[in-house]
Copies of this chain bind each other. A is one copy, B any other.
Amino acid sequence: MLHDPAQLDLMFQVLADPARRQMVDRLSRGPASVSQLAEPLAMSLSAVVQHLNLLEASGLVRTQKVGGVRTCQIEPKALRAAEHWINERRLSWERRLDRLGDFLAES
Task: Note all chain B residues with C-beta closer than 8 A to A94.
Answer: 76
Copies in the complex: 2
Taking a contact as CB atoms closer than 8 A, the residue among B73, B85, B90, B96 that contacts A30 in the complex is B96
Q: Is the CB of A39 closer than 8 A to any CB of chain B?
A: no
Q: Is the CB of A79 within 8 A of B83?
A: no
Query: Does A50 sit at the interface, judged by CB under 8 A?
Result: no
- Whole-angstrom CA separation of A36 from B78 in the bound complex: 32
Q: Is the beta-carbon distance between A86 and B83 smaller than 8 angstroms?
A: yes
Most buried by B among A13, A27, A88: A13
CA gap between A94 and B9 in the complex, in Å: 24
Contact across chains for B74 and A29 when beta carbons are under 8 A apart: no
